[in-house]
Structure 1
Amino acid sequence: MTPHRIALLFNANKVYDRQVIAGIGQYLKSTRVVWDLFLEEDFRCRTLGIQHWRGDGIIADFDDPTVEEALAHLSIPVVAIGGSYADDSRYPANIPYVATDNTKLVRVAYDHLIEQGLQRFAFYGLPPSPGNRWAQEREDAFLRMIAADGLEGMVYRGSPTSAGGWGRSQEDMVAWVRSLPKPIGVVAVTDARARQLLQACVVADVPIPEQIAVVGIDNDPMAQLLSRIPLTSVIQGAEEMGRMAAQVLHQMLHGGDCSSTRVLVPPVGLCVQASSQHEPLRSPYVMRAKHYIRQYACLGIKTEQVADYVGISRTLLEEHFKRELKQTVHQAILEHKLEMARSMLVDNSIPLAEVAVRCGFTSLQYMYAVFRREFNCTPRQFLGMAKI
């Protein structure tokens, strides 16, 4: 059997593109299709000569208009992957298209914020550019949802991300964060933008999620790793997009006419973390204290440090905690550390000793003792129960 030569034109440096590629690989393994794959880490510098490539088919990211233009008149089968459009005329003509459903991505984030009891909403997007058409679609979807509910949504696009302009961009974002009516829920167009927003809230000293609840899109592990406050994020169906695109190309390689095929892939779900779990708190002292605890509990902070940050005495802070949350400040710190430990225990690749250190326990033995006291089991036993 002579393998088909297939080019995958994606930016393998992006988590979304890698997930699409993973879905293509899963299709090949599940069907025993034999393809020789051509893949560059970043294909954009190769599109100018792609018409001379002697291959059998292409699966490409059509969110970049230069790619769409470069592949428009090829004689070999091409399957496009990209974002969905409200206007059907924006889809490429006579090319099968597998899309992430931008409207449903935003709907999942927006509905989650409504479920948290919020009544004000904003959107943090990207400045318009030919390569950001998908971002504009998500912004438009948000505005349609807000209008349908009779609300006025606020939109902030900020600046393109660049090292040189980052200082000014963050200052502008901090000013926007402070100007927002609160409490408010913010949908970020990507996890990368959501992480920037979380940083701005920290700089602006605005508690998350009590005053600003944040939801991103992508479920990007890197964004989670680099955020002090765990980020709630919509999980795209990128792997399913890859599987579907590979299936369509497979049919085309065997004579199938798929030129009118268009598939919208819905999101997989929502990964809920601390950034969106809005709790309406009456006491501004408790609100500030919880904001500080979310950032620094795993660094071993004590009640006195929390009180110093809030700017009141330890005794007064304890009174507010007991009245509002029915717990002490120490219990709130420990609760956060245990929450982080439980989420890490699900990952078998992280040694238990490392879990203890990263969650702020003085030793593995102490973490074991706390688990026995709070849950009547060891961390390993808890891990086993989490898998059931």
Structure 2
Amino acid sequence: MFESKHSITLILNASKVYDRKIIEGVGNYLQTSKVDWDLYLEEDFLARFDNIDEWGVDGIIADFDNPEIQAALLKTKIPVVGVGGSYSDANDYPDVPYVATDNFALVNAAYQHLRQKGIEEFAFYGAPLDDYQRWSQERENAILKITEADGYKCHVYRGHPIKPETWQDTTKRLSDWLISLPTPIGVIAVTDSRARHLLQVCDHSGLLIPDRLSVIGIDDDEIARFLNRVSLSSVKQGCFEMGYQAAKKLHRLLDGQSCSHKPYLVPPAKVIERQSTDFKAIKDPQVMQAMHFIRQKACHGIKVDQVLDYVGVSRSNLEQRFKEERGHSIHNEIHHEKLRKACSMLKNTDRPTVEIANICGYPSLQYMYAIFKKHFNQTPLEHRDAANRRIAENSLK
């Protein structure tokens, strides 16, 4: 039996992946509880809050990272739950029930991921100071505190606001900063969007990723991920959990129950590791060049001779260097890169196996099946099913 019906407004910018996941979490609470809510969300997915007290709604879940929304809603008598970023200073939290992504934990997850790769130089690509992006300053403060505690220096660059008319100058300045950094180095970007800037500039400037710069973002944004030649590692925020907990708090308020104003901090969901942080401490610059070329071109059907032409050394010379650094031949490196790509696509996409075989540079689907049987004693479909089972099992833990 459902409870009393309520009209709920979501003041969130659903054009952003962060807000969309929060909305998904709210929806999950609706489906798994006994609430009977009508949800209102702007058709163009933007957050509007004019004349709030005239809306005739029973409750609101809103983005308190926007200072205008926060100021407007702190004056209303309508039950409100805020969502947004965490703060190092407890006085910065609003005096309402509040669910926050843990900015310190997000940055620490990215940092620990880079440390586990053996990286000992660090940089942070943030954003200009802005009241609408207070989470950026919080994340910058977090990495400075974390690296200082471990005895490391962190190079910080906030960059500039992104505008079409200044994009060329912005990327030139970003390139100058990246070139000035010691290498190898791990760079944490404040968002995936900013991480994408790094990947593009590195590509144009000839800075090898991840051999010279390992890059990790925050958001796990599909748009940023698919617009780069190098796949981006990222920290996935717990936005779904934020939405669920915000809805749970609003439910308590509408039931007339007390609801603590102590902020509820949601940790990151996990670190998604991809190519941009696949760092291995390679000392030989020619092996590093070869590795960069193989990562970029393995699935294009390249042979060992094309790697040799790119690096510009003899086969015997590079093969010897490869065995010393990597423990196997150039041919095996090309083979491993194609297999890694195929496994990733089977796990993370629904594309047909015949299409994956073609994308990964295998001459036929039958050939890819033979490779998987040899390496995993599984067919590609069995490998995909096993990966999906592991994901489902982990989500239940």
Q: TM-score range by the shorter chain?
A: over 0.9
Moved more, 372-381 or 159-168: 372-381
Judged with a 3 Å threshold, the aligned counterparts in structure 2 of structure 1 residues 314 and 172 are, in CA distance, closer, same or farther, namely farther
Residue 10 (structure 2) aligns with: 8
Alignment equivalent of 1:76, drawn from 78, 82, 92: 78
SS of equivalent to 2:84? strand
Cα pair 1:8 1:39 within 8 Å, conserved = yes
Residue 128 (structure 2) aligns with: 127
CA separation in 2, counterparts of 1:382 and 1:265? Answer: 33
SS of equivalent to 2:265? strand
Cα pair 2:214 2:279 within 8 Å, conserved = yes
Moved more, 332-341 or 156-165: 156-165
Cα pair 2:52 2:76 within 8 Å, conserved = no
Give aligned pairs, total: 386
CA separation in 2, counterparts of 1:26 and 1:335? Answer: 40
Cα offset, 1:125, TM superposition: 0.7
CA separation in 2, counterparts of 1:334 and 1:257? Answer: 60
Residue 46 (structure 2) aligns with: 43
Residue 395 (structure 2) aligns with: none
Letter in 2 for 1:297: A
Output one character per residue of 1:307-330: Cα deviation in whole Å (capped at 9) or x when no partner.
233233444322321222122222
CA separation in 2, counterparts of 1:64 and 1:307? Answer: 53
Letter in 2 for 1:119: E
Residue 293 (structure 2) aligns with: 292
CA separation in 2, counterparts of 1:304 and 1:178? Answer: 30
* Unmatched runs of 5 consecutive residues or more in structure 1: none
**TM-score, length basis structure 2:** 0.92
Q: CA RMSD in A?
A: 1.7
Moved more, 54-63 or 312-321: 312-321
SS of equivalent to 2:216? strand
Letter in 2 for 1:346: K
CA separation in 1, counterparts of 2:207 and 2:17? Answer: 29
Q: Summarize the alignment of residues 147-296 of structure 1 with structure 2, pairs less than 5 Å apart.
A: 147-258=148-259, 260-296=261-297
Residue 394 (structure 2) aligns with: none
Q: Summarize the alignment of residues 238-387 of structure 1 with structure 2, pairs less than 5 Å apart.
A: 238-258=239-259, 260-347=261-348, 349-386=350-387, 387=389
CA separation in 2, counterparts of 1:119 and 1:197? Answer: 19
CA separation in 1, counterparts of 2:311 and 2:53? Answer: 63
Residue 34 (structure 2) aligns with: 32
Judged with a 3 Å threshold, the aligned counterparts in structure 2 of structure 1 residues 376 and 213 are, in CA distance, closer, same or farther, namely same
CA separation in 1, counterparts of 2:38 and 2:377? Answer: 54
Residue 393 (structure 2) aligns with: none
CA separation in 2, counterparts of 1:149 and 1:348? Answer: 38
Cα offset, 1:305, TM superposition: 2.6
CA separation in 1, counterparts of 2:221 and 2:89? Answer: 28
Residue 138 (structure 2) aligns with: 137
* Unmatched runs of 5 consecutive residues or more in structure 2: 391-397
Cα pair 2:29 2:248 within 8 Å, conserved = yes
Cα offset, 1:284, TM superposition: 0.3
Moved more, 268-277 or 371-380: 371-380
Once the two structures are aligned, what percentage of the paired residues are identical? 48
Judged with a 3 Å threshold, the aligned counterparts in structure 2 of structure 1 residues 185 and 78 are, in CA distance, closer, same or farther, namely same
Cα offset, 1:347, TM superposition: 4.1
SS of equivalent to 1:296? helix
Cα pair 2:53 2:78 within 8 Å, conserved = no
CA separation in 2, counterparts of 1:36 and 1:375? Answer: 50
Q: Does 1:57 align with 2:79?
A: no
Judged with a 3 Å threshold, the aligned counterparts in structure 2 of structure 1 residues 52 and 306 are, in CA distance, closer, same or farther, namely farther
Cα pair 1:51 1:70 within 8 Å, conserved = no
Moved more, 360-369 or 215-224: 360-369
